Structure 1
């Protein structure tokens, strides 16, 4: 046989056992400093990924969709007739030797095996100088995007760091623009990346699921800062304010407001509010000139 399914199964189980031991051994070690603790977390995360991928391979083997495992068990583990015992034994021995010759890593796990080199590997984690290896956020790109946007304002970087999460101060008309949406996407992308790099053992998907559930509840109760009463159907004065055309340079940006907002803006200016979204946006955009 070109390969042994049973030997691959045994090797995969050994790999899982070895990885379990490595994870325990690594977590029992007290990191010397914050940098070492971060390396430790990434090493454990990598080993857990290997556990998952190896387990997936085992599941695939045990599902035996092609029948290879069943055939091998039938061929090698059923009781042969007396005359076939030794030929089958040496045939099986040759297959095992060939397998280990091709797969040098598939070795017996011993308590004396030395994995010090693996445990001392330094994972490649990219941080900027400002992030100081995960100790601080680097918001300079977001800061430049904010102060050069229509919804932003000039301020010192230190002030931006303390207030960038206070989006309730931005008017609703500006929040409806494509530029603001892209800005929020960039914030989310950066913070998610920072979380993955600094807390690799956290279940990020679980955290996002919890946050989304909490947000939806706050939205329904009208408790989201800056959007109070939005979920309950009530409108504040700021929500009913007219669209400030000075913040829009193209028809496409106005289209982002949506049909209802455009209709409200046109009606407030005693103009026809009907037509498609594109027609409403064009009609409103003409008022800039």
Structure 2
């Protein structure tokens, strides 16, 4: 026979022990970032159980059988027959199950008295923790937005930027240069927002388990309802990648979300079955439905902004980490990967908030995770910008990155789009007009744009120095490499 009062007593006991377990966890002194993250996830599990147990306890207090049980116990002239009936039922249960093990609540929180089964559970929890984060996230230190960056650059009419600029502009939802207005009506953009929202929620739950997501959502919803104003203007139109505030042009089909270059092609498109079907679907959707979709989209953007505000420091550290990795040589990357595989314990001084790295000049980080000296920053010219029009006006920081990019895929692709061969003669040429002018000059002088294989093939030594084939073989024969 189940007793409501006994269940209430057990619930109170379990709640008190969960609170005590949280206190004991916080009294421990984690030395590394991984240990602190494990502590927070353990406390989050205790708090989740505590909330569920509290809700169950509140339901028990509203149970009518609890009042009847109290009245039965409080009667001074209680008939002992009911008592002996319960005693007989309890004895019969233990006679039927004589070796049933009793799981006392206090045993669950005694870490020092753990048996083999509990050790297996701890091992399973550690293994789950190891697979909780990707290698790029580094146990919740950095964001891994590479997949979302690839999804962003594949959106229609967006400026395709590299990963680091994307980290700076991914939350610029109000900018037409980052997210054109015509793009926001497409299904691909909605899916991109859903994926970005889901990843940020997942990262917060894994890397910041003690952050109150519900409170963040409620605050963002309240602020959104106060500031949101439905747009009554017509949809903006995007032409050649630049958003304009003017109404949609005559050669833009709102139903199919498509631009047309010629009037004849546009007129023929209006008679197609695909357009008629899309236009019918658009007409069937009422104005209220479109407003609701725009509002839901704006709310999703507001939630993403709220999450990114919480992850502001993590986002900056992610950018610094990517810049640091790009400055490393292949050998340094290999050594760093080996150190990560060995899992060397990190000093608590590097992780403490009191000794956070002071970097007001936003200098790149070195191999030790600290900002490089300012004189080294000036020596390598990392503060000098080198734009390249052939690469889509991409800006390279520092002379080394600028010189190296002429043989990279982005520049080669830009030259191929211009119909030019990426030969040595076009080195240092960054303007499209200059590239065409040089090409015409080479044609007039009958200068071949092809060079010898010895100069085309490049070799790299162990220190990262690049030579052509002839010089590399000469140095190797002389034993200088």
TM-score range, shorter-chain basis?
0.5 to 0.7
Q: CA deviation at 1:55?
A: 1.5
In the other structure, the counterpart of 2:161 is 155
Q: Distance in 1 between matches of 2:250 and 2:165?
A: 26
Q: Contact 2:235–2:248 (CA<8 Å) still a contact in 1?
A: no
CA-to-partner distance for each residue in 1:117-148, whole Å, 9 max, x for gaps? 58995464421111111111111111111122
Aligned equivalent of 2:102: 104
Could you say what secondary structure the match of 1:27 adopts?
helix
* Structure 1 residues 208 and 7: alpha-carbon distance in aligned structure 2, compared to 1, 3 A threshold: closer
* Alpha-carbon distance in 2 for matches of 1:103, 1:56: 27
Describe how 1:5-44 pairs up with structure 2 within 5 A.
5-44=4-43
1:144 aligns with 2:150: yes
In the other structure, the counterpart of 2:190 is 181
Q: How does 1:113-262 map to 2 (within 5 A)?
A: 114-116=110-112, 121=122, 122=125, 124-125=128-129, 126-167=132-173, 168=175, 169=177, 170-217=179-226, 219-220=228-229, 238-242=244-248, 251=255, 253=257
Which range is displaced more, 98-107 or 30-39? 98-107
Bigger relative contact order, structure 1 or 2 (CA pairs below 8 A, ≥6 apart): 1
- For the 8 Å contact 1:127–1:133, the answer to whether it is kept is yes
TM-score (norm 2): 0.43
**Contact 1:219–1:231 at 8 Å: present in 2 too?**
no
- The CA deviation at 1:78 is 3.0
**Kept after mapping to 1: 8 A contact 2:140/2:203:** yes
Shift of 1:216: 4.9
SS of equivalent to 1:23: helix
CA contact (8 A) 2:153 2:159 kept: yes
Closer, same or farther: CA 243–214 of 1 in aligned 2, 3 Å:
farther
> What TM-score, normalized by structure 1, do the two folds share?
0.67
Structure 1 distance, partners of 2:135, 2:40, is 21
Structure with the larger strand share = 2
**Conserved? CA contact 1:173–1:243, under 8 Å:** no
Q: Which moved more, 1:237-246 or 1:151-160?
A: 237-246
Equivalent residue pairs, number: 244
Instruction: Say if 1:88 and 1:28 are closer, same or farther in 2 by CA, change over 3 A.
Output: same
How far apart in 2 are the matches of 1:106 and 1:24?
20
Q: Distance in 1 between matches of 2:281 and 2:69?
A: 71
Change (3 A) 1:7 1:149: same
1:22-62 Cα distance to aligned partner (Å, 9 max, x none): 11111122221111111111111111111111122222222
Tell me what 1:73 maps to: 70
Query: How big is the alpha-carbon RMSD for the aligned residues of Structure 1 and Structure 2?
Result: 4.2
Structure 1 residue 88 corresponds to structure 2 residue 83 = yes
Q: Which structure 2 residue ranges, 5 or more long, are not aligned? A: 237-242, 259-265, 267-275, 284-481
Unaligned runs of 5+ in 1: 221-229, 255-265, 267-274, 283-289
